[in-house]
Chain A
Amino acid sequence: MAYSEKVIDHYENPRNVGAMDKDDRGVGTGMVGAPACGDVMRLQIKVNEQGIIEDAKFKTYGCGSAIASSSLVTEWVKGKTLDEAMTIKNSHIAEELELPPVKIHCSVLAEDAIKAAVEDYRQKQGGAQVVVQPVMASAQTAH
């Protein structure tokens, strides 16, 4: 499988790898997994009082595309509001990283992870609107 240069760059120099205290009220944690490939992804955001994402960290066990997708998302969300972060689509990630069709699901995973992190943060704040997390197939798929 030929990875694009951008994927290789994120894979070799992943941005923002790490963990935050998931019990911190200002931290939102999103965890998702893809059983088909056994990937596990954790994405965390630190939100300030103005509702801006100050920092983001991820830890992904999976293929290069899954690591690159989550690495890219942590870069993208910094400085964004929660609503802006929620507009990130897997297609944007796939396009930026030039993912081949068979790896699109890795970008879907990253989109789910950021959404889950935002939801987790919102729930901690008293849950403005509680959206059900995707337990099974999400609407955005590779096809």
Chain B
Amino acid sequence: MRRELYDLMTDSCFQCGAVLGAPPALCAACGAVQPFRADLSLFAVADLPETYDLDVQALRTQVFALQKGLHPDRFAHAEPTARRHSLEWSTRLNEALAILRDPLRRADYLLRRQGVDALGEQVKVADPTLLMTQMIYRERLEELVAARDVTGMEALRQEVDTAGVHVVQRLHRLLATLPCAEPEAAGSAVRELQFLDKLLGEIGRSAESLQNA
């Protein structure tokens, strides 16, 4: 146990002692899958710099490359510990891809890294402008559904989409340096984006059900 802890701290292979690369998941020297490191951030797991201005294509390439070496299928016949470790790394890599490629979840993750939970279940919004805008969007959608206006719905979708793009631009400014110096403003931008995302989902479902009807 003592030796294992020491190895984890120095990022050297638990099996052969060789120095590990980043992420410290597979030993390049002996090929052993390393014990999972829950302390690593999603960025560190994908060996990417922790930044909001993330190259999503690079993230994808990186995760797929790492998955090749760590996928549980490769360890199907390995001993149970190695199988478990590969599963843990692999699951975490999937999580990194899912969260970091999404501008909303990436921003939320970065804020949570500095102790700000912008989207917690207890978090509520009383910003009248934001709520009023949402109400108006929702009412418009309701009217469009009633009128079976597919064209109008597409226009609304584009409008909401553009509103979301503007919020993401705001987040790029707010999260340009980390930790974010204005967590309140960033948190409220994340909440606004979440409302817009939910609304986009709602518009998509409504459009689909109109087209299928």
A68 CA to B195 CA, complexed, in Å: 21
User: Chain B contacts of A38 at CB under 8 A?
Assistant: 194-195, 197-199, 202
Q: Is B135 an interface residue (CB 8 A)?
A: yes
User: Chain B contacts of A42 at CB under 8 A?
Assistant: 131, 135
A116 CA to B190 CA, complexed, in Å: 23
Q: How large is the interface on B (under 10, 10 to 19, 20 to 34, 35 or more residues)?
A: 20 to 34
User: Chain A contacts of B65 at CB under 8 A?
Assistant: none
Q: Is B124 an interface residue (CB 8 A)?
A: yes
Q: How large is the interface on A (under 10, 10 to 19, 20 to 34, 35 or more residues)?
A: 20 to 34
- Among A59, A105, A108, A135, which residue has its beta carbon within 8 angstroms of that of B126? A135
Q: Are B131 and A32 in contact (CB under 8 A)?
A: yes
Q: Is A35 an interface residue (CB 8 A)?
A: yes
Q: Is A134 an interface residue (CB 8 A)?
A: yes
User: Chain A contacts of B197 at CB under 8 A?
Assistant: 38
Which of A35, A38, A105, A116 has the most chain B CB atoms inside 10 A of its CB? Answer: A35
User: Chain A contacts of B139 at CB under 8 A?
Assistant: 59
Which of B16-24, B45-53, B79-87, B115-123 is the interface stretch?
Answer: B115-123
- Among B119, B124, B128, B198, which residue has its beta carbon within 8 angstroms of that of A112? B124
Interface residues of B (CB under 8 A from A): 118-128, 130-132, 134-135, 138-139, 190-191, 194-195, 197-199, 202
Interface residues of A (CB under 8 A from B): 31-38, 40, 42, 59, 61, 105, 108-109, 112, 116, 133-138, 141-142
